[in-house]
Amino acid sequence: MKASVKKLGLGDLVLDRQGSFTLRILLFIFGVALKLFFRRIETFNAGVVPLDKPVIFVHNHPNGLIDPALVFVALPRKISFLAKSTLFKMPVISFLLRTVEALPLYRQIDAGADVSKNQKTFAVCRELLKKGGAIALFPEGVSHSSPKVLPAKTGAARIALGTVSVGEPIDLHIVPVGLFYTSKTTFRSEALLHFGEPFRVEAIELDEDGQPPKAPVKALTKRIEEAIRDVTVNAETDADLNTARIAERIFAATYQNEDLAEKLEFLKNYIADQEREGHLEENIELKEKLVAYEKRLDELGLDAEHLSLSQVSKGFVIKRALAQVWSLIVLSPLAILGTVLHYIPYRLCNVAARLFARHDVDDIVSTVKLLAGIVFLPLTWTLIGGVLGYFFGWQIGLASVPVAMLSAYVALYSIEEMEELRGWARAIWLFLRRRETFLRLFVERRELLEDLREFD
């Protein structure tokens, strides 16, 4: 699995992309914003994507406008994507969508939407695909927090069948892409794009109105939905998904599942096994053990990985701690400056997310945080530069902007390192002062690992 995993750097998100100057500027802005919002962005199996054929990318939709933003900067080729029509009425977002050549999709659930206009959008999509282009859409139709993929709408199937069944033959493929977030609303979490195997769309005979008949549309829609399920986590309840995440954290603490694709695969395997018939009593017992164990760790302020402390020498622990503390001391002036300068905009991002948690029926908490950051942070840097420029000259004001930007990043890094140090400090204290409790938790973790090995 590791050979197909790629960790995306800023260069992967913003360089070597075609388009207008404005488009490239947006790529840079969103690339930087996403790299700040997410600690890590990875792709898995991206090599299967056809680069010289028309393609329809189909995705799950768990995270508002974060999903298309991530798709926009991380897919290995230029795309046009479909977005709900109501977004085209919002001043700033409308400009962004038109700049990236997004196309409006009219949904029955949106008040006042004229779904008949979708025929024009579908026609544009077909023309784009006929020219060898690529489009991306979200067949679930809404952004949501369900623990599983929702039933797919028929739009993707109708576009695909309409494209291959009219005019010259076309080699059109559909590529399922699973979007996986370790914590979709948490700042500095992680994101994965999991590419499934492409499949070819075969031509059919259209009805008397020149439209794909219901039966093949339904069949292709079902295949699309199943393909998306194959590259995503699907649990029946939030409780089941939460238990699976506990299991994954415990397993990763020992076996170092660092790649997000490995985390996703473990979650899929665990949930699939829990839903199999004939293991009900065993599954309930394991679930209760996992939940109780996680509760005890939370009460002590520990993670499962902290228990690995008992397997390393005191010298290693001291050296590692001193190295991290020293780096924090060296960076502390910039970190303190960054924390002070960006405290208010950071809080404003959280306030905005609470005020605008939804747009129509869609869950957009992370979207608001990201867009608020794109607005508030540059505004803060500009304000700092303006004030310093007014009092100390334009040279000082201009120089202060990159310093403020650097301080923001150093503050983020330092906060993450300090949080990690606090966790290990609690573990060391427990190990030294309550060793029996620590070792009992370690032994229990080892016993749970025996039950979890089969899901790797």
Residue pLDDT tens, the chain, 456 long:
444 889 988 888 776 566 677 878 888 888 888 888 898 999 999 999 998 899 999 999 998 888 988 988 888 788 888 888 888 888 778 888 888 888 888 888 877 778 888 889 889 999 999 999 999 999 998 888 899 999 999 999 999 999 999 888 899 999 999 999 998 888 888 999 999 999 999 999 998 888 899 999 999 999 999 999 999 999 999 999 999 999 999 988 876 556 899 899 999 999 988 877 656 677 788 899 999 999 999 999 999 988 888 777 767 777 877 888 898 999 999 999 999 999 999 899 888 888 887 777 677 788 888 888 888 999 999 999 999 999 999 999 999 999 999 999 999 889 988 988 899 899 989 988 898 999 999 999 999 988 888 776
- In the numeric block, the tokens 């690992």 are attached to 449
Contacts with 62 (C-beta within 8 Å, 6 or more apart), sequence order: 143, 144, 145, 179, 181, 184, 363
Count the Cβ atoms, other than its own, within 10 Å of residue 282.
Answer: 12
The DSSP code sequence of 145-189 is: --SSPPPPPSHHHHHHHHHHTSSS----EEEEEEEEESSTTSTTE
User: Collapsing DSSP states into helix, strand and coil, what is residue 59?
Assistant: strand
Encoded tokens for 249: 């954290």
Query: In angstroms, rounded to a whole number, what is the distance separating the alpha carbons of residues 49 and 67?
Result: 18
Torsion of CA 251, 41, 295, 286, to 10 degrees: -40
The answer to whether residues 30 and 72 touch, using CB atoms and an 8 Å cutoff, is yes
**Topology (CATH) of 2-230:** Glycerol-3-phosphate (1)-acyltransferase (3.40.1130)
The answer to whether residues 298 and 424 touch, using CB atoms and an 8 Å cutoff, is no
pTM of the shown model: 0.88
The answer to whether residues 410 and 215 touch, using CB atoms and an 8 Å cutoff, is no
Query: In angstroms, rounded to a whole number, what is the distance separating the alpha carbons of residues 35 and 14?
Result: 11
Give the CB-side neighbour count of residue 225, counting CA atoms within 13 A.
16
